[in-house]
Structure 1
Amino acid sequence: MAVITKFVVVREGEEKMTFTTKKEADAYDKMLDISDNLIPFIEKADIGLQEVDCEKLAFYLAQNKDELANLLKGVIKGTTASAPKKKKVKQD
């Protein structure tokens, strides 16, 4: 008989996801916390999103928080937007 340890993320009495490591479960739980915190922020924008769309957007932003953080800092695909590449000029 095998013993399997599972880590289950539960929100409001509902199982959201099951993981094999505590680290993965904690990361997912933190992502859900971020998503929950983003919902009121997005709703304040008053851009006419339905509640379900607002929740989807918050979840997407939370899932991609690292990329979003870089974009907010001005970092685009490994380069900074504020420091454009210098063009080399051929001198004669």
Structure 2
Amino acid sequence: MAVEIKYVVVREGQEKMSFASKKEADAYDKMLDLAEVLGDWLQQSPVAFEEGQSDALAMWLAENKDALSTVLRSSKLPDVAATASVQETPDEDNVAAHPGRKRTKAA
């Protein structure tokens, strides 16, 4: 029998995702923190979002925080080729971009 260690990210009593390493779980938890703050900030905007849209947008912004940071610093869109290469070779901090990682959607 094999022993497997899983690091589970829990939010408001609900299991969100489990990972094979603590570093990955911490990165995902940090991304969820950022998405929560962005979601609250988007709710204060003058734009009326349908239910769930602001949460989805906040999560997308959190997942793409590096590109967002580039846009905010330079007032320019990141190079499309550079963005595509980032998706092909995932950054260690971008948990969502790691398709080969062992993670499971918690029930």
TM-score range, shorter chain: 0.7 to 0.9
Structure 2 distance, partners of 1:21, 1:62, is 21
Aligned residue type for 1:31? M
Runs of 4+ in 1 over 6 A off after TM superposition: none
- Whichever of the two has the greater Rg, that structure is 1
Structure 2 distance, partners of 1:48, 1:60, is 18
Match of 1:33 in 2: 33
User: Structure 2 length normalisation: TM-score?
Assistant: 0.69
Secondary structure of 2:48 counterpart: coil
Structure 2 distance, partners of 1:43, 1:68, is 19
Structure 1 distance, partners of 2:12, 2:40, is 18
User: Structure 1 length normalisation: TM-score?
Assistant: 0.79
Structure 1 distance, partners of 2:52, 2:65, is 20
Aligned residues: 78
- Percent identical pairs in the alignment equals 47
Structure 2 portions without partners, runs of 5+: 83-107
Residues 1-92 of structure 1 aligned to structure 2 (within 5 Å) = 1-74=1-74, 76-77=78-79
Q: CA deviation at 1:43?
A: 1.1
The one of the two structures with greater contact order (alpha-carbon pairs below 8 A, sep at least 6) is 2
Structure 2 distance, partners of 1:51, 1:22, is 33
Q: CA deviation at 1:4?
A: 0.4
Alpha carbon RMSD of aligned pairs, Å? 1.2
